[in-house]
């Protein structure tokens, strides 16, 4: 596993190869921003009901762990033009309003916990998000924490550089590896090319409908 670090100016815009589509973003900046958001979320949201003194005592833990953000992207309006000879990667954009969909925490490179911000991304419910979970009790394969833990284990066997989710692809985590975009189905733990995933799990029509605001089906 490799986390993006500060690169020379020439590489600050991470370009995925033409045949697979392109993401024209400073991914290092997105990661750093979302790491700050994740840390603040643990301080101010998960500790909301704690007293000031209790929050202070919790700070050493919060600053002792590493944050691996899952950034939030969505389909652009231009995705109504998506077709079988085009790459869906060219039609996804950063969710500027809510750039973080969830995050892992790590201790010495090992899984420590996970928190989902899906309610914020999907429903703009600012006052509610799932709790930060560090239980490490993985008993139900279809439980979200178990699925996300298993997904991280699978991803750590690869050389990924950036994790993100695309709105309405609800069972997939996207990642960049060797300058190409892939996604992993969190139930199957199978890696797909994004366009292959669309052909198998939903349809071009579904993508066009989602891009036009018709949320009648998810992809996956």
Domain positions in the chain are 9-74+93-194
Q: Is the pLDDT of residue 216 over 80?
A: yes
* pLDDT at residue 80, rounded to an integer: 96
As a whole number of angstroms, the distance between CA 67 and CA 84 comes to 36
CA 201 – CA 153 distance, rounded (Å): 23
- pLDDT over threshold 70, residue 120: yes
Is the separation of the CB atoms in 144 and 156 below 8 Å? no
To 10 degrees, what angle do helices 204-211 and 194-201 make? 100
pLDDT in tens, 37-72: 999 988 877 654 555 555 666 788 899 999 999 999
Beta 66-75 vs 160-166: how paired, if at all? Answer: parallel
Computed over its alpha carbons, how large is the radius of gyration of the chain? 18
Residues 6+ apart with CB under 8 A from 49: none
Question: Of 12-21, 49-58, 162-171, 192-201, where does mean pLDDT reach its minimum?
Answer: 12-21
Given a cut of 80, is residue 13 above it in pLDDT?
no
């Amino acid at each position: 596993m490799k986390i993006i670090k500060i690169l020379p100016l020439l590489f600050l815009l991470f370009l995925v190869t033409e045949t697979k589509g392109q993401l024209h973003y400073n991914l290092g900046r997105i990661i750093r921003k979302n790491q700050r958001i994740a840390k603040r979320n643990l301080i101010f949201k998960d500790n909301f009901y704690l007293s000031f003194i209790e929050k202070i005592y919790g700070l050493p833990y919060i600053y002792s762990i590493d944050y691996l953000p899952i950034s939030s992207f969505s389909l652009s309006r231009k995705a109504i033009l998506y077709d079988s000879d085009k790459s869906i990667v060219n039609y996804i954009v950063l969710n500027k309003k809510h750039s973080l969909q969830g995050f892992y925490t790590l201790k010495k490179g090992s899984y420590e916990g996970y928190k989902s911000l899906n309610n914020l991304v999907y429903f703009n419910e600012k006052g509610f998000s799932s709790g930060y979970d560090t239980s490490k009790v993985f008993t139900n394969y279809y439980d979200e924490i178990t699925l996300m833990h298993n997904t991280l284990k699978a991803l750590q066997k690869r050389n990924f550089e950036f994790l993100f989710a695309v709105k309405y692809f609800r069972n997939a985590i996207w990642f960049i590896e060797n300058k190409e975009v892939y996604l992993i189905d969190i139930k199957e733990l199978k890696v797909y090319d994004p366009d292959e995933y669309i052909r198998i799990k939903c349809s071009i029509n579904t993508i066009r409908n989602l891009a036009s605001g018709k949320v009648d089906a998810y992809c996956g």
